[in-house]
Amino acid sequence: MEDIHIQGSKDVYIQPTVDFEVATGRCSISGESFLEETAKFYSPMVEWIKAYSRFGKNIDFTFSLTYFNTSTSKWILTILAELKKLEGQGVAVNVVWHYHEDDVDMRDDISDYMADTGLKIDLVPFNE
């Protein structure tokens, strides 16, 4: 199993920066996500989480997304559902989401994710 490191970019489509580390269990997705081939981008991350579950080690997941489109939202929900499965297997799962305090829509989206998955997400305002 290998780490995932993807540098974010803002070309025609916008992709977030992604860092998943096997040794530490630290994972992050940050920036903005407006992709054409969302499944191609996010499905390896879901597979990574499934493979990581075999280790039974704790996982710390941080989202610092400031914008994402609808197709990305579906993949975020899939990622969170996989993390909830890990939690159900006895793995300590810590999820933090950094957001802008004045972004009511983002807070609503995060609340919806918590309701849909049953996973606790700590909301942490960006230091601006």
Ordered per-residue pLDDT tens for the chain, 128 residues = 999 999 999 887 899 999 999 999 999 999 999 998 999 999 999 999 999 999 889 999 999 999 999 999 999 999 999 999 999 999 999 999 999 999 999 999 999 999 999 999 999 999 75
pTM (2 decimals)? Answer: 0.94
Structure tokens at 5: 């490191």
- Count of structural domains within the chain: 1
Residue 120 maps to which CATH number? Answer: 3.30.750
pLDDT of residue 92: 96
Q: What are phi and psi of 8, to 5 degrees?
A: -65, 155
Give dist(CA 116, CA 5) in Å, integer: 28
pLDDT of residue 48: 97
Q: Domain range spanning residue 24?
A: 4-125
